[in-house]
Amino acid sequence: MVPLFLIKSRARRRTERIEVELPELIDRLVVTLEAGIGFNAALQRSGERMSGPLGEELRLTLHEHELGLTMQAALANLLQRCEVPSIRAFVRAVTQSEQLGISIGHVMRELSSDIRKRRRQIIEERAQKAPIKILFPLAFLILPALLLVVLFPGAYNIVTTFGGG
């Protein structure tokens, strides 16, 4: 059970890092796309400059594209490897903009704001869960020690006054 737990925790940390790094990638894509560079070149430049798990996945996706897959197939493989909601939104936005002929720079800008809002909502949700998570240590560890320190001197005085005479 321990190896499975370790693998799952590493996978969860990796997906969280990908989730955190994606807005930076989208911002880089927006800047390079608005500078007049094509999507594939912008993705390649961004992938070269990014480190961490998202950079690795981007380089692997670009390598698959260089080996002959279409960009949509390579992005679909990226989506299969990284089951992250923001990656799903990114891949969906790219494929829809290519199919419909919409400016991909505008789509990336909108996607960036949506992902940032989603991340803010996740952080607010975690902040609302924090008081519930701290209730157990407070009630069973901190409160008894505090009561012992505060009430022991008075209880000791009462016992010695009435009992020991």
Alpha carbons 108 and 126: distance in angstroms, whole number: 27
Categorize the per-residue pLDDT at 4 as very low, low, confident or very high, splitting at 50, 70 and 90: very high
CB–CB of 51/126 below 8 Å? no
pLDDT digits 0-9 by tens, 64-110? 999 998 888 999 999 999 888 888 988 998 888 888 888 888 888 88
- 68 backbone dihedrals φ, ψ, rounded to 5°: 125, -10
Categorize the per-residue pLDDT at 165 as very low, low, confident or very high, splitting at 50, 70 and 90: low
pLDDT digits 0-9 by tens, 114-154? 888 888 898 899 899 988 888 888 888 888 888 889 999 98
CB count within 10 Å of CB 81 equals 15
pLDDT digits 0-9 by tens, 14-67? 988 888 888 888 888 888 888 888 888 988 998 888 888 999 999 999 999 999
- Put simply, whether the predicted model's pTM sits higher than 0.85 gets the answer no
For the chain, domains (ranges, CATH) are 2-126 (1.20.81.30)
Residue 131, classified by CB atoms within 10 Å of its CB into exposed (0-12), middle (13-18) or buried (19+), is exposed
* 152-155-156-160 Cα dihedral, nearest 10 degrees: 180
Alpha carbons 94 and 98: distance in angstroms, whole number: 6
